[in-house]
């Protein structure tokens, strides 16, 4: 049996992605901090898709030590697809940002994603049919006012994943690496970014996708031969495209 690993699966895009991949008959390993939300997800998938196995794992991937221990827990499983979805944002000017929150964001958005991507590639790059999908953002291609640091983390995710995709291709590796770049999506993202208990997208955000729509876009990316799935921040159209960043070959003097 093979499995699709989805981090940040307790809500939003991760939750809906788990439902979407389960709908394809994929066994799911759902990972998040909130055990109660993972239990709800497990029960929903089991009711809709009784033949799909759902494994839940609690982990706080913003804690460096937990990242390695979490990956060790995956060793008994055959991982077909690894989706690094866990992450959060922040809206503040650089001078006003809470550095404790920022350090946690850097560890989750950059460090955990890099470590998990590296370990997965190390173990599975030669396995046919494997995919690594890292969730970036439209903010990984456009710098947004009062979200400079958050965008910086997502520029990293986009550049790292696009570069990895081309590195794998140049080596003739069996694995594919891809990056999903959503624009505004109706999730808990705004609440965490603004440090508020509630946030209503309707009437506040001019355009946005639902998490379910974004999960479908992720499936479209999964099915395609393209590296980047990106939402246009003005039209909100979704496109599947080749790598956007320049990949320069190393030269030696």
pLDDT digits over 1-38, tens only? 999 999 999 999 999 999 999 999 999 999 999 999 99
pTM: 0.95
Q: Six-digit token pair at 176? A: 């594919």
Query: Domain segments of the chain: what residues?
Result: 2-241
Beta strands in the chain (DSSP E): 2-7, 27-32, 54-58, 78-84, 131-135, 176-181, 185-186, 209-210, 228-231, 238-241
Q: What is the mean pLDDT of residues 97-104?
A: 97
136 class by beta-carbon count within 10 Å (0-12 exposed, 13-18 middle, 19+ buried): buried
Q: 2-241 belongs to which CATH class?
A: alpha beta
Using a pLDDT cut of 70, give the percent of the chain over it: 100
Q: Say what the pLDDT of residue 253 is.
A: 60
Q: Say what the pLDDT of residue 56 is.
A: 98
Q: Are 54 and 28 in contact (CB under 8 A)?
A: yes
Locus of tokens 């089991």: 46
Per-residue pLDDT tens for 211-237?
Answer: 999 999 999 999 999 999 999 999 999
Per-residue pLDDT tens for 161-212?
Answer: 999 999 999 999 999 999 999 999 988 778 878 888 888 888 888 999 999 9
How far apart CA 207 and CA 228 sit, in angstroms, is 21
Per-residue pLDDT tens for 144-174?
Answer: 999 999 999 999 999 999 999 999 999 999 9
Q: How many CA atoms lie within 13 A of 244 on its CB side?
A: 20
Q: Say what the pLDDT of residue 203 is.
A: 86
Say which residue, 200 or 115, is predicted with more confidence: 115
Per-residue pLDDT tens for 64-90?
Answer: 999 999 999 999 999 999 999 999 999
The confidence band for 104, taking pLDDT boundaries of 50, 70 and 90, is: very high
Q: Are 66 and 59 in contact (CB under 8 A)?
A: yes
103 class by beta-carbon count within 10 Å (0-12 exposed, 13-18 middle, 19+ buried): exposed
């Amino acid at each position: 049996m093979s499995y699709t690993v989805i981090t940040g699966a307790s809500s939003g895009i991760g939750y809906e992605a788990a439902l979407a991949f389960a709908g394809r008959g994929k066994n799911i390993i759902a990972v998040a901090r909130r055990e109660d939300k993972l239990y709800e997800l497990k029960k929903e998938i089991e009711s809709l898709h009784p033949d799909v196995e759902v494994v839940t794992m609690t982990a706080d991937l913003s804690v460096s030590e937990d990242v390695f221990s979490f990956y060790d827990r995956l060793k008994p499983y055959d991982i077909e697809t690894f989706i690094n979805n866990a992450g959060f944002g922040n809206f503040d000017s650089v001078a006003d940002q809470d550095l404790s929150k920022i350090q946690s964001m850097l560890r989750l958005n950059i460090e955990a994603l890099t470590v998990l991507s590296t370990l997965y590639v190390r173990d599975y790059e030669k396995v046919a049919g494997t995919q690594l999908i890292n969730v970036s953002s439209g903010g990984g291609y456009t710098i947004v006012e009062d979200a400079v640091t958050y965008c910086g983390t997502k520029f990293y995710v986009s550049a790292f994943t696009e570069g990895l995709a081309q590195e794998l291709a140049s080596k003739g590796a069996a694995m594919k690496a891809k990056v999903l770049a959503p624009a505004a999506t109706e999730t808990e993202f705004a609440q965490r970014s603004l440090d508020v208990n509630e946030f209503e997208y309707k009437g506040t955000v001019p355009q946005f996708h639902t998490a379910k729509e974004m999960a479908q876009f992720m499936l479209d990316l999964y099915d395609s031969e393209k590296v980047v799935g990106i939402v246009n921040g003005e039209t909100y159209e979704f496109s599947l495209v080749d790598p956007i960043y320049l990949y320069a070959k190393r030269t030696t003097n």
